[in-house]
């Protein structure tokens, strides 16, 4: 055996050793359940009144988050050296000047009738009452240039979904709208059935709030035909085909929201210019209809859970930075349609190509301690083999969650992959995954509160996200995007 051979063997050994240990272990001990608990009780407290996007409450919690981010060791990474990236939402809202007269009866907006989506329109015409007719039989009636009145029905509507009652008017709309439009109807009146009777109290706050958009999304109101709802106890109003006179006036105005953004710089002179983006959303649903005598929708799991996890991870990165930098983005206005993440994906505070991956969390503090979902972990939602492998390796190291894989299936009734802040980033070609402990009975109710969080679970989910981010921050190669990845929905 010659010396050169021994030398090359030795260097191969040293190389593999060096390669396997080319970076430190994650500093798990810096993540503390007591911190998660303390921050949770502050952020999801009644003092922030449910953190609704565009309100002073969202601005107040943004100040709280910025203070916390600073305390945890982040540097500001928002606009003009601050922690804030403000953006404008567009809000479209039906005004109280709107009116409806059926026959000789004047009806009261939001009391006697609901308007499903904001439009500007005047309709004068005859009502054609079609009773229980399903969409495929509507053509038996002449509704061209007239107003269709129909009894809502749940036939052919999939009922396997959380918040089904809240979403139901939308499903009914989808079921009838195109057919009615095609047949020339000028407006639609739905008369409630059992499910929509129940849904009235839930959809009222949604409809009165109106709709929200951001640059590139719902900037203007639609030209759709108006959709009204009346209660079945008032069905007699439309049964004898009277005349209707409807005037809907919608106002559109700009409305502020804000992303809170901080960073912790990496240690590698080259890789520090690249960023691992940790993502959560700070907003929730504000004050709404009472459930069990409570009206404040605190959003502890949704999504103070990820915000406090991000603060905990920041403390760990402050003590032991990675090679790459970490960008912490607490998105605003997620509940109004992923508006903050849409904005930041379009206007990132660091160059887009320097964001190596997005690790988003949403609702990470509930349900079984040993189960969790990684959305974007499986085809067709998976957009990076390497990133998913890092998340899976991180899980195998310690947390050992059993994956709730069906939640990542394109056939899952919730379409959950499409419902959080990683989505706008995945759409622009950044490797992205979504960590979640999934839905529960108290989802989007005032009972989503600090005392109902499973802190052991929240700790484990934080650990999983942190271990994953640590790999992304330190591996030599950044995760690649799967070629030709595209999202169907």
Name the CA dihedral angle for 471, 476, 478, 480, rounded to a multiple of 10 degrees: -110
Q: Closest CB to Zn ion among 128 and 453?
A: 453
> What's the closest the beta carbon of residue 301 comes to Zn ion, in angstroms?
8
Beta carbon of residue 202, minimum distance to Zn ion (angstroms, whole number)? 18
Of the CA atoms within 13 Å of residue 7, those in its CB half-sphere come to: 3
Q: Measured from the CB atom, is 170 or 337 closer to Zn ion?
A: 337
Stretch that binds Zn ion, among 49-57, 157-165, 289-297, 357-365 (CB under 5 A): 357-365
Measured from the CB atom, the residue of 255 and 297 that comes closer to Zn ion is: 297
Sorted by sequence, the CB contacts under 8 Å of residue 84 that are 6+ apart come out as: 62, 66, 78, 258, 259, 260, 261
Question: Shortest distance, CB of residue 228 to Zn ion, whole angstroms?
Answer: 30
Segment interacting with Zn ion (CB under 5 A) among 12-20, 112-120, 147-155, 355-363: 355-363
| C-beta of 437 vs 468, nearer to Zn ion | 437
Identify which of residues 176 and 425 has a Cβ nearer to Zn ion in the complex: 425
* Tokens 């919608």, residue located: 250
> Which of 362, 386, 448, 463: binder of Zn ion (CB under 5 A)?
362
Verify binding: residue 268, Zn ion, rule CB under 5 A. no
Radius of gyration for the chain, computed over Cα atoms and rounded to the nearest angstrom:
26
Q: To the nearest whole angstrom, how small is the minimum distance from the Cβ of residue 423 to Zn ion?
A: 12
Nearest-approach distance from CB 298 to Zn ion, in angstroms: 13
Q: CB of residue 313 vs Zn ion: minimum separation in angstroms?
A: 18
The stretch among 1-9, 356-364, 365-373, 400-408 that binds Zn ion (CB under 5 A) is 356-364
Show the 3-state SS of the chain: CCHHHHHHHHHHHHHHHHHHCCCCCCCHHHCCHHHHHHHHHHHCCHHHCCCECCCHHHHHHHHHHHHHHHHHCCEECCHHHCCEEEEEEEEEEECCCCEEEECCEEECECCCEEECCCCCEEEEEEEEECCCCCHHHHHHCCCCCCEEEEECCCCCCCCCCCCHHHHHHHHHHHHHHHHHHHCCCCEEEEECCHHHHHHHHHHHHHHHHCEEEECCECCCCCCCCCEEEECHHHCHHHHCCCEEEEEECEEEEEEEEEEEEEEECCCCCCHHHCEEEEEEECCECEEEEEECCEEEECCHHHHHHHHHHHHHHHHHHHHCCCCCEEEEEEECCCCCCCHHHHHHHHCCCCCHHHEEEEEEECCCCCCCCCEEEEECCCCCCCCCHHHHHHHHHHHHHHHCCEECHHHHCCCCCCCHHHHCCCHHHHHCCCCEEEEECCCCCCCCCCCCCHHHCCHHHHHHHHHHHHHHHHHHHHCCCCCCCCCCCCCCC
Do residues 455 and 32 lie in contact, with contact meaning Cβ atoms separated by under 8 Å?
A: no
Stretch that binds Zn ion, among 184-192, 226-234, 360-368, 434-442 (CB under 5 A): 360-368
Shortest distance, position 300 Cβ to Zn ion, whole Å: 11
Q: Which range of residues in 5-13, 163-171, 189-197, 358-366 is near Zn ion by CB under 5 A?
A: 358-366
Nearer of residues 45 and 107 to Zn ion, judged by Cβ: 45
Place of tokens 């989910």: 461
Q: How far is the CB of 413 from Zn ion (least distance, A)?
A: 18
Choices 359-367, 368-376, 403-411, 429-437 (CB under 5 A): range interacting with Zn ion:
359-367
Of 53 and 185, nearer to Zn ion (C-beta) is: 53
- Residues between 34 and 73 with contacts to Zn ion, criterion CB under 5 A: none
Shorter beta-carbon distance to Zn ion: residue 98 or 306? 306
Q: How far is the CB of 419 from Zn ion (least distance, A)?
A: 8
Report, in Å, the least distance between residue 285 CB and Zn ion.
10
Binding residues for Zn ion, rule CB under 5 A, total 3
Q: How far is CA 23 from the centre of its chain?
A: 34
Q: State in angstroms the smallest separation of the CB of 334 from Zn ion.
A: 6
Stretch 126-185 residues interacting with Zn ion (CB under 5 A) = none
CB of 203 to Zn ion, least distance (A): 19
d(CA 231, CA 246): 17
Least gap, CB of 131 to Zn ion (angstroms): 40
In the complex with Zn ion, which residue's Cβ is closer, 44 or 264?
44
CB closer to Zn ion out of 274 and 448: 448
Interface pattern 286-325 for Zn ion (x via CB under 5 A): ----------------xx----------------------
Nearer to Zn ion, 250 or 282 (CB): 282
Q: Which is nearer to Zn ion, 162 or 273 (CB)?
A: 162
Q: Of the two residues 78 and 365, which places its CB atom closer to Zn ion in the complex?
A: 365
Cα angle, residue 350 at apex, residues 317 and 391 outer, rounded to 5°: 50
Query: Interface with Zn ion by CB under 5 A: which residues?
Result: 302-303, 362
């Amino acid at each position: 055996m010659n010396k050169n051979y021994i030398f090359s063997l030795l260097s191969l050994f040293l190389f593999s050793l060096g390669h396997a240990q080319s970076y430190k272990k994650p500093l798990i001990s810096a993540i503390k359940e007591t911190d998660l608990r303390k921050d949770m009780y502050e952020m999801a407290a009644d003092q922030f009144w449910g953190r609704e996007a565009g309100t002073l409450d969202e601005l107040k919690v943004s100040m709280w988050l910025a203070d916390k981010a600073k305390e945890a060791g982040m540097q500001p990474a928002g606009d003009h050296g601050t922690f804030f990236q403000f953006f404008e939402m567009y809000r479209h809202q039906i005004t109280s000047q709107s009116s409806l007269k059926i026959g000789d009866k004047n009806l009261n907006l939001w009391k006697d009738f609901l308007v499903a989506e904001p439009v500007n329109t005047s309709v004068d015409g005859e009502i054609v009452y079609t009773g229980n007719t399903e969409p495929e039989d509507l053509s038996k009636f002449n509704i061209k240039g007239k107003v269709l009145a129909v009894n809502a029905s749940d036939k052919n509507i999939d009922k396997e979904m959380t918040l089904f009652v809240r979403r139901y008017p939308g499903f009914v709309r989808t079921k009838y709208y195109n057919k009615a439009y095609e047949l020339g109807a000028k407006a639609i009146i739905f008369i409630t059935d059992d499910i929509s009777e129940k849904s009235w109290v839930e959809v009222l706050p949604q409809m009165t709030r109106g709709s929200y958009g951001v640059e590139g999304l719902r900037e203007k109101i639609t030209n759709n035909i108006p959709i009204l709802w009346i209660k079945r106890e008032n069905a007699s109003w439309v049964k004898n085909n009277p005349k209707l006179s409807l005037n809907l006036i919608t106002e559109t105005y700009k409305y502020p929201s804000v992303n809170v953004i901080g960073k912790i710089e990496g240690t590698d002179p080259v890789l520090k210019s690249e960023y691992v983006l940790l993502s959560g959303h700070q907003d929730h649903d504000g004050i709404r209809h009472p459930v069990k005598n409570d009206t404040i929708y605190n959003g502890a799991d949704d999504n103070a859970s990820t915000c406090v996890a991000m603060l905990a991870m920041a403390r760990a990165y402050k003590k032991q930075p990675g090679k790459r930098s970490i960008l912490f983005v607490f998105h605003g206005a997620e509940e109004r349609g992923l508006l903050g993440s849409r904005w930041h994906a379009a206007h990132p505070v660091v160059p887009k190509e320097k964001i190596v991956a997005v690790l988003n969390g949403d609702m990470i503090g509930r349900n079984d301690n040993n189960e969790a979902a990684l959305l974007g972990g499986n085809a067709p939602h998976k957009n990076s083999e390497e990133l998913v492998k890092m998340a899976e390796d991180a899980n195998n190291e310690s947390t050992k969650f059993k994956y709730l894989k069906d939640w990542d299936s394109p056939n899952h009734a919730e379409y959950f992959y499409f419902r959080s802040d990683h989505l706008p980033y995945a759409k622009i070609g950044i490797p992205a995954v979504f960590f979640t402990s999934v839905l529960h009975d108290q989802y989007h109710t005032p009972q989503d509160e600090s005392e109902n969080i499973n802190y052991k679970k929240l700790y484990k989910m934080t650990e999983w996200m942190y271990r994953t981010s640590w790999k992304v921050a330190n591996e030599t190669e950044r995760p690649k995007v799967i070629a030709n990845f595209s999202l169907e929905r």
